């Protein structure tokens, strides 16, 4: 903190897994350094990120239809729409 002004805690000079994942999903909350890492990953990394996201959507919707009404999404990811709560609320508002 300098003169009462908080300093940024986001280091855009180093890649972050959550931002790389965001880039793999086609998101907008990432930086060139994250894109560089994403481009170095194997070609199937982008498809696997999309598959992972699709599984979360299917699984959470299925659980909501089965009566589960509490979900805890733990991770360092960046919110990407539709998010878990949006999927569940579409099934059980």
Residue range 38-74, pLDDT digits in tens: 999 998 999 999 999 999 999 999 999 999 999 998 8
Inside any domain, residue 34: yes
Inside any domain, residue 60: yes
Residue 93, helix vs strand vs coil: coil
Q: What is the DSSP string of 18-77?
A: HHHHHHHTT-SS--HHHHHHHHHS-THHHHHHHHHHHHHHHHHHHHHHTT-------SSP
Inside any domain, residue 10: no
Model pLDDT, residue 52: 93
Distance between CA atoms of residues 12 and 34, nearest Å: 9
Query: Structural domain of residue 60, as residue ranges?
Result: 17-70+79-91
Inside any domain, residue 31: yes
Inside any domain, residue 8: no
Inside any domain, residue 83: yes
Domain total of the chain = 1
Model pLDDT, residue 49: 95
Phi/psi region, residue 21 (left: phi>0; alpha: psi -120 to 50; beta: rest), is alpha
């Amino acid at each position: 903190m300098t003169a009462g002004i908080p300093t940024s805690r986001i280091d855009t000079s180093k890649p972050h897994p959550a931002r790389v994942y965001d880039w793999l999903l086609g998101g907008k909350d990432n930086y060139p350094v994250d894109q560089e890492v994403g481009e170095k990953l194997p070609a199937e990394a982008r498809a696997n990120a999309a598959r992972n996201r699709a599984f979360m959507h299917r699984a959470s919707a299925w659980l909501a239809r089965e009566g589960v009404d509490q979900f805890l999404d733990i991770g360092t990811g960046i919110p990407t729409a539709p998010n878990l709560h949006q999927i569940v609320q579409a099934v059980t508002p």
